[in-house]
């Protein structure tokens, strides 16, 4: 059996599903021995085009390099790839990166440019750090030499649409925190004299929070989910309150928590609201990596809309 490291790339169509399709098809050919995290990478050369999702798969097969190259081309065609221009955008790109066999014929191993490409080396080092990517040079050594140049790791778990355990726990923690903030508002001794201004400001913030959260939820329509994993088949929403902040539902919940705490002058509630803000920022960091995997345009959306829960600030 021969072991091959195969680089996967996609920047057209449903990029994530294209990569999943490639892993499935490679599994029909041989034994999938390792799959790296998925990364997002800026295109190198060619016409203007979107960012790529990249990964590396380690597969063991009873095929020589030329036969394996032909299999890779067949899988690309099955994903709808059309070779119209060099370095152009593509639904799926499979490259033979490295192997434990000698090369010959059309296939050149290791890949001539593997040692120069971070988007190849970084995922390759996860599954086969000692792979030879140039004469006398391993993937680990090559990556150390070129350093980090903006290849972003998005997720370790990505092969199936099933919700990762971390995503489920984030939802549990979110609702627990919301319950604790509500409980903190009634905590004995936490409520001080209710100043009229505090009540008015609190009620106003609460109303705004409800309006923002409801409006943002309605804009999402069937794409709405408390889960940080975007729904399969959904589209990126960038209108309504999403023109001003990327996560307006969280903005609304924070306003509601702050407003409720101010209305009853609860210092415990205000402190709990601060913890809630920190938690939302952590959840957003996870969620936005998953959103970037699902929506090719999410990276550009992040550039246009800078605020996560507060416009222009936070």
Active site residues: 81, 90, 93, 95
Could you tell me which of 25, 51, 50, 23 has the C-alpha nearest to residue 37? 23
| 13 exposure class (CB count in 10 Å sphere: 0-12, 13-18, 19+) | middle
Q: Return the beta strands (E) in 13-117 as ranges.
A: 31-35, 38-41, 52-61, 93-99
CA 73 to CA 6: how far, in whole Å? 12
* DSSP letters for 159-227: SSSSPPHHHHHHHHHHHHHHHHHHHHTT-TTTB----HHHHHHHHHHHHHHHHHHHHHHHHHGGG--SS
CA 53 to CA 165: how far, in whole Å? 23
**Contact assessment for residue 255 and residue 208, using Cβ atoms and an 8 Å cutoff:** yes
């Amino acid at each position: 059996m021969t072991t091959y490291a195969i680089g996967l790339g996609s920047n057209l169509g449903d990029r994530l599903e294209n990569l999943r399709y490639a892993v499935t098809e490679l599994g029909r050919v041989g034994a999938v021995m390792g799959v790296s995290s998925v990364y997002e990478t800026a295109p190198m050369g060619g016409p203007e085009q979107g960012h790529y999702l990249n990964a590396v798969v380690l597969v063991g097969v009873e095929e020589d390099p030329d036969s394996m190259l032909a299999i890779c081309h067949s899988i690309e065609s099955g994903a709808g790839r059309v070779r119209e221009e060099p370095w152009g955008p593509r639904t799926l790109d499979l490259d033979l990166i490295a192997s434990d066999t000698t090369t010959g014929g059309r296939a050149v191993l290791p890949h001539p440019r593997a040692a120069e490409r971070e988007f190849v080396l970084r995922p390759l080092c996860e599954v086969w750090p000692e792979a030879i990517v140039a004469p006398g040079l391993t993937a680990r050594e090559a990556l150390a030499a070129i350093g980090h140049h903006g290849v972003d790791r998005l997720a370790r778990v990505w092969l199936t649409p099933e919700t990762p355990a971390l995503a489920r726990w984030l939802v549990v923690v979110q609702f627990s925190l919301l319950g604790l903030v509500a409980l903190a508002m009634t905590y004995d001794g936490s409520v001080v004299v209710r100043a009229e201004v505090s009540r008015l400001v609190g009620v106003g913030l609460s109303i705004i929070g409800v309006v923002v959260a409801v409006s943002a939820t309605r804009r999402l329509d069937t794409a709405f989910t408390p889960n940080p994993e975007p729904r399969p088949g959904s589209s990126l929403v960038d209108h309504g309150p999403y023109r001003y902040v990327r996560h307006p539902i969280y903005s609304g919940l924070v306003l509601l928590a702050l407003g409720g705490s101010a209305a009853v002058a609860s210092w415990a509630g205000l402190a709990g609201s601060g913890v809630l803000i920190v938690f939302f920022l952590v959840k957003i960091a996870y969620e936005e990596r998953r959103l970037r995997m699902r929506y090719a345009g999410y990276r550009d959306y992040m550039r246009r809309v800078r605020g996560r829960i507060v416009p222009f600030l936070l």
